[in-house]
Amino acid sequence: MIDNWRLIIFITLLVFSFSYAKDTLIFGICPHDSGPTKVKRWYVLADYLSKKLGKKVIVSEDFTFDAFIKKFSNGEYDFVYINPMHYVVAHNLQGYMVFAKEKGRKDQGVIIVRKDSSINHVSQLKGKKLVFPSPTAWSATILVAAYLNDNGLVYGKDYSAIYTNGPHEVTALAIIKRFADAGGSLERFVKNARPFIRSNIKILAKTQRTSPHVFAYSPKLDAQTKTDLQQALFSLNREGRDVLLTIGFKGIEVYSDEDMNDVREIMRKLGLPFDKVKGLD
C-alpha cells in the first residue's frame, strides 16, 4: 500500500511538472530600474503576451543583478529581456537566441559626476574612485570602461571601482554622498531621475552607441512556442500601443545574433570571456 501511494505521488508530481512547463512561460527581466514599482510595468506586457499565447506568462521578480544572474545561469527563464553581454554568454553556453529589440534603440553609457565637481574632463578621473551598478552592467559599466580605455585610463590601474549591485539611483546617490568621485550611468536615467538626483549630478561624457538589451528565448522552447512568442511580441506594433507606452518602447523590431557582433568586439577589447558571466570585477 505504501509503495502504491509513493507511485501515485510520483505520477501526480510528474504530471504537474509537465503541465507547468507546457502552460507557463517564465519571463526574466534584467534589473535596471529602481525597485519593484518600476518592475511592475512588465506585468502589463506579460498579461498581453498571456492573452496572445494562451499560456500564462509570469514575470520573475528579480530586483538585484545577483538574483537575476543566479536564476539566469541556472536556465530558469523561458525568455528574457537581457543585457547584450549576458546574451552573448547565454548564446554560447545555453543556446539562447535573440529575436527582437526595442525599435530604434541603441545602448549608450554616460559618466556622471557631482554638479559641483571640479572634474571637467575624463583625463581628470585618473587616480579617482568610480562607482558602477554592477561588474556586468553593459551601458553603465562595460561601455564606460571601454570609453575610458580608449581615452588612456585602464580599469584597475588608472582608477579604482566600487559596485552597488543595485539600480542606477544608488549609483547616483553614492556620487552625491561623496562615496565616489564619478560613476557610470544612463542618460535616460539622468533625464528621468527625481529632482533631487537631477539637481546634484551632471554628465561628464557619453560612450559609443551599441546593440541594446534584447529579447531572447531559451532553446528548450519548442518551435511552435518560439514562433508564437515572436508573433505575439511583434503584434504590439499593431495592437498594443498602450502596452508599448507603459513599458516605454517606441515599438518592436527584428534583431539577430549577427547584429550582436558589435558587443562581441567590445568584449574582446576588454578581455571579457564569452563562456561565463564575468564583468570588470
* pLDDT above 50 (res 9): no
User: In this structure, are 231 and 145 located in the same domain?
Assistant: no
User: In this structure, are 201 and 237 located in the same domain?
Assistant: no
User: In this structure, are 124 and 68 located in the same domain?
Assistant: no
User: In this structure, are 51 and 91 located in the same domain?
Assistant: yes
Q: Estimate to the nearest angstrom the gap between the alpha carbon of 150 and the chain centroid.
A: 24
How much is the pLDDT for 38?
58
User: In this structure, are 24 and 81 located in the same domain?
Assistant: yes
pLDDT band at 3 (very low <50, low <70, confident <90, very high): low
Domain boundary at 176, 210, 244, which? 210
Helix ranges (DSSP H) in 110-260:
144-150, 168-176, 187-192, 195-198, 223-234, 236-239, 241-247
In tens, the pLDDT along 13-25 reads 444 344 334 589 9
The CATH number of whichever domain residue 241 belongs to comes to: 3.40.190.180
The CATH number of whichever domain residue 156 belongs to comes to: 3.40.190.10
In tens, the pLDDT along 209-224 reads 999 999 999 999 999 9
Q: How large a percentage of the chain has pLDDT more than 70? A: 86
The reply to whether 277 falls in a domain is no
Q: Estimate to the nearest angstrom the gap between the alpha carbon of 136 and the chain centroid.
A: 9
CA angle 35, 236, 241 (to 5 degrees): 75
User: In this structure, are 95 and 215 located in the same domain?
Assistant: yes
User: In this structure, are 98 and 221 located in the same domain?
Assistant: yes
User: In this structure, are 172 and 131 located in the same domain?
Assistant: yes
User: In this structure, are 138 and 253 located in the same domain?
Assistant: no
The reply to whether 280 falls in a domain is no
Q: What is the pTM of this model?
A: 0.82
pLDDT band at 32 (very low <50, low <70, confident <90, very high): low
Domain boundary at 210, 227, 256, which? 210
In tens, the pLDDT along 75-103 reads 889 999 998 998 999 899 889 999 999 99
User: In this structure, are 154 and 242 located in the same domain?
Assistant: no
